[in-house]
Structure 1
Amino acid sequence: MKIEPQEFCSDRITMNYSKIFRMLSIRWIIGSALMVFAALGVVQHSGAASISVLAVVNGTPITNIDFEERRNFLIKTTGIVDNAETGEQIDKDVLQMLVDDIIKREEGMRIGRGMEEVARQRADEIIDISFSQHGENPNDVLKRLGIDRSFAEQKFFTDVLWASTVQTRFAEEFANVQNEAVKELERVKANARKPQIDLDEIVLVPGPNRTMQQTAEVANQMVAAIKKGADFGRIAQQFSVAGTSQESGNVGWVVLERLPDDIRAIVENLPSGTVANPVQIDGAVVIYRVNGIRLNGNADPLESIVRVGRMILPVEAEDLESRKAAANTVFGAIAEVKTCQDLNRIHEGYGSSSDFDFGEFKLAEFSPLLREILLPLGINEMSDPINYSEGIVVFMVCDKAVPKLNLPTQSEIETRIRNRHFSVLSSRYLAQLRRKAIIEYKDG
């Protein structure tokens, strides 16, 4: 997420699962009743609007309520643009997601007996982690976003159960992960001083309701949304078919020379924090983001985590002389400032409606302009006064954690390898199940 100098930090949310089985039981009962009316396509909901059946998958109905809740969840958690140009494709994607979720859950229940409870607990953890911010209660965040927790639970329960199902179904392919990780860790240690890059990815593939061209158009819309502040990780969680979707799209640190030539050509010259334009690779459309770069065994300074304070002297006048006068006022006021507490007192005295605490972020996450301003600053060092639309602004670094060059653990490498296997096997497995499924779409 790019943080522009002039904007107030938006919520940084991530994703959790609890009452899921009770919810699934209730939904099964409701679903059984709906199946009686599914052929009609509409069910009257007592005292309220009618419930429409949009599709039936292996006898399980998908209603307009399911659709609207999932669509709302998708828009609110990813920040993708919903307008006349994108709305139709979003509708198609949401309905396909719901169809696939039913297929995945059914297969998970068939193969993974005994996995349900563990999947439910893990999904709960994902929601609590992902929808927490600065210690805020995730239920409060969900309520503010207008997201029903039970629908979020259903989505993440399905994701976790499906991941377990794929690993169970293809156990032989995953059997050698530990040995592969040992060899990979040896290569990492041997190449520690070679150029390395920390990558995120979103992998999109065409589907029953989306051609390759449409998939490429969706990818372009995602990149545009990410550059405007949409969260890369949440989009990966929702859309990416890669195993890394469970890690918010994070591939991790890789030695640059070990990347395939076509991928290396895309990412090797990108600065930290940059999102590449979508590219078609092996029948998929892939979006890469560079999180960090290491040269000669040294950590990238843009990996530093900084907490930033922002003092604002509100200025409504737009003429240059008024702005110069305001800047001179600020220069005088900050002359004796030594700490963020000092700067905060001045900020409060100016009566700005914005908080002084700008937030804590990796330097690579800021926009290029603000990144250039903050990079050379140490703790309790501030920028010169800067002219922004809301007034005269001074930034100060209140805390800064310089990264250490830590090699990945064997466990982290095992996860990375499992994700690689999952990316290939999951898509193939789901395509087989789609062909076997009995899917009936209702008109309208």
Structure 2
Amino acid sequence: MTETSQTPIRRRLRALALALPLGLAMLAGAGPATAQSPFSAAVRINDGIVTWYEVDQRALFLEVVRTPGDLRAEALETLVNERLQVQEARRMGVVATPEEIEAGVVEFAARADMGPEQFLRAIGEEGVAPETFRDFVANGISWRNVVQTRFGTRARAQVTDAAVEAALAYTPRLEGAQILLAEIVIPVTPENQESLRADLTQAAADLNFNVDDFSEAARRFSAASTREDDGLTGWRPLNAVPPNLREDMVLLAYGETYGPVPLGPAIAIFQMRGLSEGAFRGPTVTSVDYATVALPSRATEEGAAAAAALRAEIDVCDDLYGQRPAGSFERVDQPLGAIPGDIAMALAALDPGEISFDVTRNGGATTLAVMLCARTVAEPEAGLEAVRQQVYVQALQRYADALLEELRADAIIAYE
């Protein structure tokens, strides 16, 4: 993707888009009339308000750290949520302390490789007031305190060995993947700044899954040097794409468009043109624990009845020991490469506790029921503790989302 000219500070600020929450519900048509007083209420939340000045400042801050999307709408809804979150923090007596706020400012600035004063000067040069940033940090800390106080113990209880194993088994990992995109990059000018985002949103919709027209539009309108090659950026490492964009882009189908995305003094839309094979791989399976039970052929009445009885009697592999006589089944734990090919293929389609009846022996006279007990996967490079923390954070997030939904449902919210 084309990099437009940026100062070192702007480049570092751009990376902070990773730290901001994305995917908030958008409020269509949010925004004051041009004559609207900046300090009048944009929305009333219970006994509190959000002013248009706060909305403008938050939207500007989101723009400075290169957050994509409808920034005014996102700023308004985020501030509504934060008012409710801070009201709950006050009720519980866990509002962020000055010491917590200062530590949060230092931590956030460090993500841009800056000290706190340098960071405040940098965003100040873009028009963001220091109190806007401090409020952003304070609100986040207050909500974190609410969630940890109310749900920390319950979330910790969900970090079981089974949950960690499930996270290991179902969390895909990036492995040297590459992505091919086409891009249309349009500089922001005084003439187009009011309409460019909306125009590109419409263009992305019109060009969705239309590769030829996207290429033609790139040749005609894009300001990037890639216009000479139909907008193609060339293959590049997937991990070079900012994580907040990467998570969306890997889900795109061939020809699907994405954006608009702010790129400093320009805005771009992208189209998926290719994702290298193996872009995502499952965790490395080191061994498989499975059981086999020899039955008469399922083509016979006797075999069909035996298969049905096995399904009814057995939920997990350990049930075999109580339901089946010794010697009537075999349970093994083998490295993946040591498992017979037909059994390995059957196991590949199973979740733990599921049974396949697709394997046969003795020329089809015997059906070999194959049941997956468990897969052992390689420990991630970051270690099991990182996976445990991931499970804990995900549990907290579920509780946090449910609480915020409850707070919104119980609140009196009036948009002005």
TM-score bucket (shorter structure):
0.3 to 0.5
Q: Given the two structures, how large is their TM-score scaled by the length of structure 1?
A: 0.40
Q: Given the two structures, how large is their TM-score scaled by the length of structure 2?
A: 0.42
